[in-house]
Structure 1
Amino acid sequence: MRIRTPLLAVVATGLLTASLAGCGARDESTTESSAASPCTGSSSADAADPSELTLALVPSGDANKLVETVKPLQDALTERLGIPVRGVITQDYQAAVEAIGANQAQIGMLPPLQMVQACNKYGAEPALQTVRKGKTTYAAQFYTNNPDKYCDDAPVTGANGLLYCNGTESGTGPAGLDSLSEMNGAKTVMLQSASSAGFVFPSAALKEAGIDSTADLDLTQVTSHPAAVLSVNNGDDEVGVSFWDARETVVADTPDVAKNLVVFALTNEIPNDGVSISSSLSPDLQQRISDAMEDYASTPEGVEALTAIYQITGLDKADPAALQQAQTEADSIGLGN
């Protein structure tokens, strides 16, 4: 198994660089069994408002670009809350969870699995979930530069100008999973094991097809969905996995993606990522943060800013029971809390 890692570890907005990757877990364990009822988080009733709030974001694509795109959000939250908000980009998904646990970050924009883990381990409230294209769920996709091997029908062009086969053009999973049996031994690029769409849900689907993602594939792991797309487009790998449809994030700069790559399978639906809020805050401030983010997401400038960050078109109240499905899938491939 090969792992490609970026040179950039952590970037903070403005002139400040924060090292959140080394945050240690608290000594006391508050971990609950992932089989327990969905975690809804906790708060600190008597906590005073802090002098500053830190918003942790997980890396997605170009971290330097993310630094710039998060500035409107941090400014809007600062204005609405009356507390300075500082945005940071963590080294990886788990670093964001541990930053919340160590109270180095009070707000996290996290993938679904990490929202559950932050709640189970540290009581962080799963406050909001993102909306994209009118949905609060999405599928992970398998795509290839070798459609003759994986497509049972002729690829069709979707509304976004990209190619699909095996009934995947709707973007709603599951679809085309019978084709996964062809992947045994294939050069495949996935994300790190903490990624719901980049590893967990695809690995669970492969397991159902009798394939172990780490033992039965010629596997490379990268740290972002765009990097996975480009690896398959460049011919370094035959199959890649990502959220649906990560090809849209690179096609403007790499237009041959539109003709080179075909999506051939979709996993079960995954609960969208969202916003977790630290249990170190008072319930009043937790609610104010949630309200401020929802309010900003309801404005045209908010939609523009959130789309630039993570292709978010809205925010809705979180559904802890739906989020728990991400942990259930992780458990199915041996990745518990």
Structure 2
Amino acid sequence: MKIRKIAVASASGLAILTALALSGCGVQQQTASGATASGGAAPAACTGTSDDAAKAPTSLTLALVPSGDAAKLVETVKPLEEALTSRLGIPVKGVITQDYQAAVEAIGSNQAQIGMLPSLQMSQACDKYGAVPALQTQRNGKSSYAAQFFTNDPKKYCADTPVKGANGMLYCNGTEKGTGPAGLDSITKIKGATVSLLQAASPAGYIFPVAAMKKAGLDVDKDIKTVQVTANDASVLAVYNGDAEVGTSYWDARSVVQKDTPDVGEKVVVFALTDEIPNDGASISSKLSKTWQNKIADAMKDYAGTPEGVKALTAIYQITGLVDADPKSLKKTQDAAASIGLG
């Protein structure tokens, strides 16, 4: 697979947590059925552990990964920091991690006690470090979403005339409602095209789209040329600017760049949706007591249930609610990753 990289510029001076080289800790986790696993074998559905002998924390760090402009995320996370600080009675500070795996390692090394993570990394943080998959996000009442394929050449990929969705942007092949799967018959037309993909850890930007392409008979190492991008908005812009013919992201990441590129919904058309992906959410460190794990989860849910919380969380990750996580649902992403050879 030929790969070109397009980076997203981030503001100078940002504190970035990078992945740490950590050895395994031999931590034990409980599966959803109550069985215990140790070492390298991944539990069927990890629910995490706690340390009830741990002292009460005097501060907490929240790890986040940019889905768009990192500089904007630094600003938009401030209301969440303030709300959690007020509700928990100790300082809560957000940090921006380099990537998804760095956020997992930050939790494992206790550099961060809370992580806003995609579904795959929630499971990984649990399997590797016992972090509790505590909460899942909701968007418009849903705890799952589809990854989308979009193009600047709708004549090639659309079997019907593109239509405007509720957001005014163009869709074809039945993708306008945002519920997958849809339009996957068009995937075979990607053969030979240049495709913008996110890092392999991204469920919407890589795992589910690549799994869909593999199911359609495409070999991503031979049948496409890849432009590797660092965020969902960069994938949209790669197609908008003509650096790629097809791109992938969560539905509908075009809204992130619409303010700066008002015609993106006309120049970039969504033509296919993958199977539904479990929503991202919040994982909480196993190095905290169960009491504090519950306090953090309850504080986050409480804030998400207020108008100001919805506004703040929408600005961060387009989140409209938080609910208790379903570890069995999260495993769907692990299964999709395994289907394309990712551990």
Going from structure 1 to structure 2, the CA distance change for 1:101 and 1:310 (only over 3 Å counts) comes to: same
| SS in structure 2 of the partner of residue 161 of structure 1 | coil
Residue among 20, 25, 35 paired with 2:22: 25
Q: 1:201 to 1:11 in 2, by over 3 A?
A: farther
Give 1:59 deviation, angstroms.
1.5
Q: CA deviation at 1:32?
A: 4.9
More deviation in 87-96 or 43-52? 43-52
Percent of pairs with identical residues: 63
Report what 1:50 is aligned to.
57
Structure 1 position 287 matched with structure 2 position 294:
yes
Residue identity matched to 1:90: T
Distance 1:79 1:235 in 2: 46
Residue matched to 2:145: 138
Alignment CA distance shift 1:9-1:102 (3 Å): farther
Shift in Å at residue 10 of structure 1?
A: 9.2
1:222-237 alignment runs, 5 A limit: 222-237=229-244
Q: Deviation digits for residues 129-166 of structure 1, max 9, x if unmatched? A: 00001100000000001011111111111111011111
Q: 1:9 Cα shift?
A: 9.1
The two structures have a TM-score, normalised by structure 2, of: 0.93
Partner of 1:252: 259
Asked if 1:77 corresponds to 2:84, the answer is yes
Equivalent-residue separation in structure 1 for 2:59 and 2:148 (angstroms): 39
Alignment correspondent of 1:2? 4
Tell me the distance in 1 between the aligned counterparts of 2:12 and 2:181.
Answer: 35
1:3 aligned partner, one-letter code: K
Match of 1:201 among 208, 227, 235: 208
Q: What is the CA deviation profile of residues 271-317 of structure 1, one whole-angstrom value per residue up to 9, with x for unaligned ones? A: 00000000000000000000000000000000000000000000000
* TM-score of the two chains, using structure 1 as the length reference: 0.95
CA contact (8 A) 1:11 1:64 kept: no
Cα distance, 1:11 vs structure 2? 6.7
1:1-337 matches, cutoff 5 A = 1-6=3-8, 8=10, 17=15, 19-30=16-27, 32-34=40-42, 36-336=43-343
Measured in 2, the distance between the counterparts of 1:172 and 1:32 equals 35
Is the CA contact 1:138–1:172 (under 8 Å) kept in the aligned structure 2? yes
Deviation at 1:45, TM superposition (A): 1.0
In 2, are the aligned partners of 1:10 and 1:21 still within 8 Å (CA)?
Answer: no
* Kept after mapping to 2: 8 A contact 1:145/1:261: yes
**Contact residue 24 and residue 102 of structure 1 kept, 8 A:** no
What's the C-alpha RMSD, in Å, of the aligned pairs?
A: 1.4
Say whether the 8 Å CA contact 2:8–2:69 is kept in structure 1: no
Distance 2:49 2:207 in 1: 27
Alignment gaps of 5+ in structure 1: none
Q: Name the CA distance, whole Å, in 2 between partners of 1:202 and 1:67.
A: 29
